[in-house]
């Protein structure tokens, strides 16, 4: 990239840890809402990854599964059990939606670990849309399923009466903070890890510290593999928890 | 170009592309498409397929366990039948042994009885013959004694009639 070339020319240490997050048009030109960008490309690759993982591996429908089919079944069972355990039996209806979120996040996170790739989940635009989709769906669902009883979520009936209004304010604030924390947690974790790897990579230009820098990259990469899965898991399980609140608002 | 991007980054604050709201519309547009596509793939193809595979496997396992239980029951039945047959066979064998023993004993007894009667008959016959021989021998002794006595008497120069000699011999022989 242009800025990296400039860094090489001047010979000094140039850190551009955030350049990897730049949105660029694939074919040049300005970025309009419909322009195919690197974000669009890597989202498309995430779709292909989902197809490869969940569809192509299960074409044989074998009773004794192959390795690939085991992975697909494992993913299915993992999310299904999560929805069932956290949201309850009546939450299972929403399993395909939650599975969609999980599969997209986990595929995008892991694709983002490929060197030179673009991590779509590192962008707030993506995670905010995901989190707001969950937040709005859950809120609407809560009112549709429970009517005004959904407001009981904010009225802690087990607390002393005098404390309840204060708790209600806290509950309301925490409720509206949910989509913020939900989205920033995911994008923040992914972005920070990738940026730190890039910073280590910048230090690798100095011969003396380059072994340490490369060791640091390896360690961060291992951590990022963990983070990729855990953040997808956390996002999904929080979605299940919010769904449970919508279905069963009583404390 | 480099200076352009740098200045653009500087202009937009600390240089986080995430906060460049001009690209949000683009990302959201592609994200919505992506999510819809993934949702359609999962809900129409992948999830029903995996669910059916899992259900089929569960069914197969349940059937296999039931079949295994059936077979186990059958095996136990067979074992019981085998044990019963073994006991029956043992009893039968014992019965046959006792029967055979009894038969042999009866035959033996019969044979012994027959042999005993035969032996008794032979013994009686033998005794009769012995008695006859003894009787014959006595007669012969008498004849010999009479003849001898007559000859002796003749040799002595005497003359004796047969009657007195017989009486004398008979008296001597009794004596």
Which pLDDT band, with edges at 50, 70 and 90, does A10 fall under? very low
Q: Is A67 on the interface with B (CB under 8 A)?
A: no
Q: Which of A251, A241, A239 is nearest to A86 (CA)?
A: A241
Contact criterion met (CB < 8 Å) for A191 and B37: no
Structure-derived torsion over alpha carbons of residues B26, B30, B31, B36, reported in degrees to the nearest 10? 150
The CA distance from A105 to A121, in Å, is 7
Q: What's the pLDDT tens digit per position in B60-101?
A: 999 999 999 999 999 999 999 999 999 999 999 999 999 999
* ipTM associated with this complex: 0.89
Angle, alpha carbons A241-B27-A32 (nearest 5°): 155
So where are chain A's domains? 34-247
Report pLDDT for A250: 74
Q: What is the nearest CA distance from B35 to chain A, expressed in angstroms?
A: 7
Which pLDDT band, with edges at 50, 70 and 90, does A251 fall under? low
Looking at the DSSP bridge assignments, the partners of residue A37 are: A25
Report pLDDT for B147: 83
Report pLDDT for A91: 92
Report pLDDT for B6: 46
Q: What's the pLDDT tens digit per position in A68-113?
A: 999 999 999 999 999 999 999 999 999 999 999 999 999 999 999 9
| Residue in B closest to A97 by C-alpha | B39
Q: Is A49 on the interface with B (CB under 8 A)?
A: no
Return the higher-pLDDT residue of A117 and B9. Answer: A117
- Find the mean pLDDT for residues A136-155: 91
- CA end-to-end span of chain A: 54
CB pairs under 8 A between A and B: 138
| Residue in B closest to A62 by C-alpha | B53
Q: Is A6 on the interface with B (CB under 8 A)?
A: yes
Task: For residue A140, count other CB atoms closer than 10 A to its CB.
Answer: 12
Whether the pLDDT of residue B173 is over 80: the answer is no
Contact criterion met (CB < 8 Å) for B41 and A51: yes
Q: Is A66 on the interface with B (CB under 8 A)?
A: no
């Amino acid at each position: 990239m242009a800025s990296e070339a400039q860094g090489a020319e001047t010979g000094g240490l140039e850190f551009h840890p955030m350049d990897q997050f730049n949105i660029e048009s694939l074919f040049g030109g300005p970025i309009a809402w419909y322009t195919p960008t690197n974000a669009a490309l890597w989202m498309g690759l995430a779709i292909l990854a989902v197809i490869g993982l969940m569809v192509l591996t299960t074409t044989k429908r074998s009773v004794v599964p192959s390795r690939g089919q085991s992975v697909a079944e494992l993913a299915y069972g993992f999310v299904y059990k999560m929805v069932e355990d956290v949201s309850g039996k009546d939450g299972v209806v929403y399993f395909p939606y939650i599975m969609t979120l999980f599969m997209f996040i986990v595929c995008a996170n892991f694709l983002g670990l490929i060197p030179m790739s673009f991590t779509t989940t590192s962008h707030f635009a993506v995670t905010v849309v995901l989190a707001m989709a969950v937040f709005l769906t859950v809120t609407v669902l809560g009112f549709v399923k429970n009517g005004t009883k959904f407001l009981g979520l904010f009225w802690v009936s087990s607390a002393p009466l005098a404390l309840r209004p204060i708790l209600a304010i806290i509950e309301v604030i925490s409720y509206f903070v949910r989509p913020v924390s939900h989205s920033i947690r995911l994008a923040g974790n992914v972005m920070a890890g990738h940026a730190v790897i890039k910073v280590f990579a910048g230090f690798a230009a100095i011969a003396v510290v380059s072994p340490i820098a490369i060791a640091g990259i390896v360690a961060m990469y291992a951590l990022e593999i963990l983070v990729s899965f855990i953040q997808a898991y956390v996002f999904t399980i929080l979605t299940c928890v919010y769904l449970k609140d919508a279905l069963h608002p009583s404390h | 170009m480099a200076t352009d991007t740098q200045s653009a980054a500087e202009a937009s604050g600390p240089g986080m592309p995430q906060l460049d709201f001009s690209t949000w519309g683009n990302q959201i547009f592609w994200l919505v498409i992506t999510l819809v596509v993934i949702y359609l793939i999962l809900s129409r193809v992948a999830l029903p397929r995996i669910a059916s595979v899992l259900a089929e496997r569960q069914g197969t396992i349940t059937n296999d366990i039931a079949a295994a239980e059936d077979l186990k029951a059958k095996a136990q039945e067979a074992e019981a039948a085998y044990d019963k047959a073994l006991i029956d066979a043992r009893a039968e064998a014992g019965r046959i042994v006792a029967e055979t023993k009894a038969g042999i004993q009866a035959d033996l007894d019969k044979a012994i009885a027959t042999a005993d009667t035969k032996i008794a008959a032979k013994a009686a016959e033998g005794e009769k013959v012995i008695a006859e021989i003894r009787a014959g021998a006595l007669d012969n002794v008498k004849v010999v004694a009479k003849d001898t006595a007559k000859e002796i008497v003749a040799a002595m120069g005497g003359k004796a009639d047969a009657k007195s000699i017989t009486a004398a011999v008979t008296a001597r022989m009794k004596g």
